[in-house]
Amino acid sequence: MSDPLIQLRGVCKRYGSGAAELMALKDIALDIAAGEFVAIMGPSGSGKSTAMNILGCLDTPSSGQYLFKGAHVEALTRDQRARLRRRYLGFVFQGFNLLARTSAQENVELPLLYRGDAAATRSKAAARALASVGLGGWERHTPAELSGGQQQRVAIARAIVTEPAVVLADEPTGNLDTRRSHEIMGLLLALNRDHGITVLMVTHENDMAAYAHRLVTFVDGRLAHDVANAHPTTSAPAEPANAALA
C-alpha cells in the first residue's frame, strides 16, 4: 500500500506565550490518502481553520511534522512552500476572492500567470477550466455580471486550472442559497470522482458534509472524531429542466 498523500504527526500550533499563550492545535495526527473527499468540521475556535491553513501551506506548525508526498513541509522555506502551493494545491474560499474589474477568464488565468506560463497556454487552460464548470461562453464577464453561484464556479475553475492534486475548500457554500450550494457540491464531487482530485472541505453544514467520504471533527484544538461516511450523497439534486444557469 502506498503512503498517504498527506500526513500530520503530532502537529501543534501555538499563538502567543506565557499567560497569553493559546494552543490552537494539540497533537494532531491525521493521514489523508490521494483521492479522498474529507469534510473538516467543528465549532468556531475548534482549530479546523488553523488545520486547513497548515494543510494549505499558508501557515506552519509550532511543532510536529507535516508530510506531503513524503516531503517534510514544516522544514521548507517560505519560497519552497509557495512553490508547493502553486504546483499541487488549489483553493476555494467562501468569499470567492475574485478581482472585481477582471473578467472570469483573467481571474482563472491568475495562478498560471504567477507560475510564469505563456499567455497562449494560460488562455487555453482557463477556457478549459471554465468550460468544465459549466461557464463556457462566460469568459469575458466580470464578477459584477455573474450570480453568486457563477462566481463560485469561476473560483473553482481558478482552483483547478493548474491541475492540482488537492483542492482545499473553506466554507465554499457559505454565501450561497440551498440550490446553488448543492450545485457547487456537485461540482466538487465530480472533481473528486471523475478526476481523482483530493478534496479537503471545511464546512459547518451537515448537508454539505454529507457529500464527503470521511468526516473529521475538531473540538478545542484536538481531533475529536474521524469517521467514514457510511452513506455519502452521490449527486446533487436534479435541476429543473427549464432552469437558467445562475
pLDDT in tens, 158-173: 999 999 999 999 999 9
Q: Locate all alpha helices (DSSP H) within the chain, ordered by sequence.
A: 48-55, 78-88, 104-115, 119-132, 148-160, 178-195, 206-209
Residue 114, pLDDT score: 87
Q: Which domains does the chain have, with CATH numbers?
A: 6-228 (3.40.50.300)
Listed as ranges, residues in the chain with pLDDT below 50 are: 241-242, 244
Residue 215, pLDDT score: 97
Phi-psi region of 165 (alpha: psi -120 to 50; beta: other; left: phi over 0): alpha
Let me know: does 158 contact 190? Beta carbons within 8 Å. Answer: no
Residue 84, pLDDT score: 94
Q: Per the structure block, which three cell numbers stand in for 9?
A: 504527526
Q: What is the pTM of this model?
A: 0.91
Residue 170, pLDDT score: 94
Q: What dihedral angle (degrees, nearest 10) is formed by the CA atoms of 120, 121, 124, 125?
A: -150
Per-residue pLDDT tens digits for 47-89: 999 999 999 999 999 999 999 999 999 999 999 999 999 999 9
User: Would you report the helix, strand and coil content of the chain in percent, each value rounded to 5?
Assistant: 35, 25, 40
